[in-house]
Structure 1
Amino acid sequence: MLSEKSILITGGTGSLGKALTKEILSKPNGVKRLVIYSRDEQKQFQMAQEFPHNLYPQIRFFIGDVRDFDRLKRAMRGVDYVIHAAAMKHVPIAEYNPMECVKTNILGAENVINACLETDVERVVALSTDKACAPINLYGATKLASDKLFVAANNIRGWNPIKFSVVRYGNVMGSNGSVIPFFLDKRKEGVLPITDANMTRFNIPIQGGVDMVMHALEKAWGGEIFIPKIPSYKILDLAEAIGPKCEKKVVGIRPGEKVHEEMISESDSFLTYDLGKYYTILPATHNWSIDEFIAKHNAVKVKEGFKYNSGTNDEWETIEGLRELIKVHIDDTFEV
């Protein structure tokens, strides 16, 4: 699927962007060009050391912001696939700087869509978050708006055969700013701050996020929101897994934070199908046959009122299981 294709990743110097880069460059029938588009020159410099041009001649580093439409359009010339991973994602920072979050996550999404429509891009996959489902914070609200924009982009493409889709998942293990690296750092002080003792979160290794993006690139018909079937963990179990001898100090929920995360709401259930490995929320308006989609994917409609919530999930990580995941996916020297 990637052979002789050109791919652009917005936010390509982030945790998932780097994992996608490694995955894409490892394919035997390689890509023609891989453009890493981001605004952080230091991260681009560091990433260029990991992927030197003499070993990976197909990689290009392109300084740019998704807020800059002209720069985006220039970067997308000759690009076949776009993976949109750029976002302002820290919940408290977004609450304090709301318009900055809106400009990046909503207006930036609009710029990506329009730049793709005005060039020769064939497929677009946008990254979402569990916080976009029934959002209570600004970050989640902007990502919900972004999801809606990418889904609706399939309705305004006209003659253009381009396909837009979305992947939505929970907390990625070890991603920048996530709780596991935070706890690993804090355990040196002997105290792990717990926002709420009842808190739960979805959990997905970074490879799981990469696999979803690649699945959507290859399989999407246009307008789907793909959601993985993944386990949850209790925040107290995670704290025990990382720092069994540490004090667990309850400090209270941060602005805009949920006790439990949700990726499919009851309202979404009317358009949600079970695909086996993934769920998908289908678009209310589409230009393909639902019956054909169901037959092609062996899709099964979920029951009305179904919801996918980290607090009521059927699958849970154990303390020992979390320790093993940390050792495998984050720090192979990890010991309690």
Structure 2
Amino acid sequence: MLTNKSLLITGGTGSLGKALTRHILKNYPEVKRLVIFSRDEQKQFQMAQEFPPEQYPQIRFFIGDVRDRERLIRAFKGVDFVIHAAAMKHVHLAEYNPDECIKTNVGGAQNVVHACLETGVERVVALSTDKACAPINLYGATKLTSDKLFIAANNIKGWNPIRFSVVRYGNVMGSNGSVIPFFMKKKEEGILPITDPGMTRFNISLQGGVDMVMHALENAWGGEIFVPKIPSYKITDVAEAIGPECEKPVVGIRPGEKIHEEMITSSDSYYTYDLGKYYTILPATHKWKLEDFIEKFNAKKVKEGFQYNSGENDEWETVEDLRNLIKEHIDSNFEA
């Protein structure tokens, strides 16, 4: 798929960007060019130590901000595929810096869409979040808007054969700012603060996120929102897995947090299909035949009223599961 192709990752120095880079360089050595686009020069410098250009001649580092459309247009020239991972993602920071969140998550999405349309990009996969589903905070609202912009881009492309799609998933295990690294650090103090004893979250590994992006890049017809079938965990089980001997005071939820996260609402069920490993929410309008899509992917329509949230999931991580996953994906020396 990537043989002699050029691919660019916005926000490429983030957790998922680096995981994608490792995956692509390992599995697609024939990739022509892999461009890491981000605005943090220090992270680019550090990433270049891990992926030195003399060892990986395909890799390029490009300083830029998705808020700057002209910079994006220059970066996208000669690029075949774009993975849009750049975002402001911390819920509480977005609540206190709303303008900045909107400029990056909404304005940045608009800029990426238009820069792709003006260059020669063939396919675009934008990263979403469970918080974009029935959002109650600004971050989720901006990511829902971003999703809609990328889906609607398929309607304004005209003759251009480009395809835009979205992947939506839950908490990425071990990613920057997520709960497991936070708890592992707080364990040293002997206190793990619990926001709400009933809180649940979806859980996906970095590799699971990478696999999903690559699936969308290869298989999207344009306009889909891909949703993975993944397990949930209880926040109390995460705390027990990491620090069974720690105090666990209940401190209350932060501004904009939900008790349970959603990825598909009952309103989405009218457009949602089961693809086996993934669900996909199809656009209300599309330029391809639904019958052909169903036949190609053996897609099965979900029941009307179907919804997918972390509190009513069929699959759960146990305390022991979580310990094993932490050891496998985050810290091989971890001991509870």
**TM superposition shift of 1:30:** 1.8
Residue aligning to 2:280:
280
Secondary structure of the 1:34 match is strand
Deviations 1:277-334 (A, max 9, x none): 0000000010000111001100000001100000000000000000000000000000
Aligned residues between the structures? 336
Secondary structure of the 1:305 match is coil
Deviations 1:60-89 (A, max 9, x none): 000000000000000000000000000000
Mapped to 2, the partners of 1:8 and 1:265 lie a distance apart of: 32
Mapped to 2, the partners of 1:137 and 1:263 lie a distance apart of: 15
Residue aligning to 2:185:
185
Residue aligning to 1:12:
12
Secondary structure of the 2:193 match is strand
Counterpart check, 1:45 vs 2:52? no
Whether the aligned pair in 2 keeps the contact of 1:24 and 1:30 (CA below 8 Å) is no
Whether the aligned pair in 2 keeps the contact of 1:132 and 1:141 (CA below 8 Å) is yes
Residue aligning to 1:135:
135
Secondary structure of the 2:248 match is strand
Mapped to 2, the partners of 1:136 and 1:31 lie a distance apart of: 40
Counterpart check, 1:160 vs 2:160? yes
TM-score by length of 1: 1.00
Residue aligning to 2:240:
240
Secondary structure of the 2:183 match is helix
**TM superposition shift of 1:255:** 0.2
Mapped to 2, the partners of 1:76 and 1:24 lie a distance apart of: 18
Whether the aligned pair in 1 keeps the contact of 2:9 and 2:83 (CA below 8 Å) is yes
Mapped to 2, the partners of 1:331 and 1:266 lie a distance apart of: 38
Amino acid at match of 2:65: D
1:84-99 alignment, distance < 5 Å? 84-99=84-99
Whether the aligned pair in 1 keeps the contact of 2:2 and 2:28 (CA below 8 Å) is no
Whether the aligned pair in 1 keeps the contact of 2:231 and 2:316 (CA below 8 Å) is yes
Counterpart check, 1:220 vs 2:220? yes
Mapped to 1, the partners of 2:170 and 2:29 lie a distance apart of: 31
Residue aligning to 2:22:
22
Residue aligning to 2:206:
206
* Alignment root-mean-square deviation, CA: 0.5
1:303-322 alignment, distance < 5 Å? 303-322=303-322
Residue aligning to 2:171:
171
Amino acid at match of 1:147: D
TM-score by length of 2: 1.00
Whether the aligned pair in 2 keeps the contact of 1:192 and 1:239 (CA below 8 Å) is yes
**TM superposition shift of 1:28:** 4.6
Whether the aligned pair in 2 keeps the contact of 1:229 and 1:278 (CA below 8 Å) is yes
Q: Percent identity?
A: 79
Whether the aligned pair in 1 keeps the contact of 2:76 and 2:116 (CA below 8 Å) is yes
1:38-77 alignment, distance < 5 Å? 38-77=38-77
Amino acid at match of 1:165: S
* Structure 1 segments of 4+ aligned residues over 3 angstroms from their partners: none
Residue aligning to 1:296:
296
Give the 3 Å change call, closer, same or farther, for CA 28–7 of structure 1 in structure 2. closer
Whether the aligned pair in 1 keeps the contact of 2:194 and 2:249 (CA below 8 Å) is yes
**Unaligned stretches of 5+ in structure 1?**
none
Secondary structure of the 1:37 match is strand
**TM superposition shift of 1:29:** 4.5
Secondary structure of the 1:323 match is helix
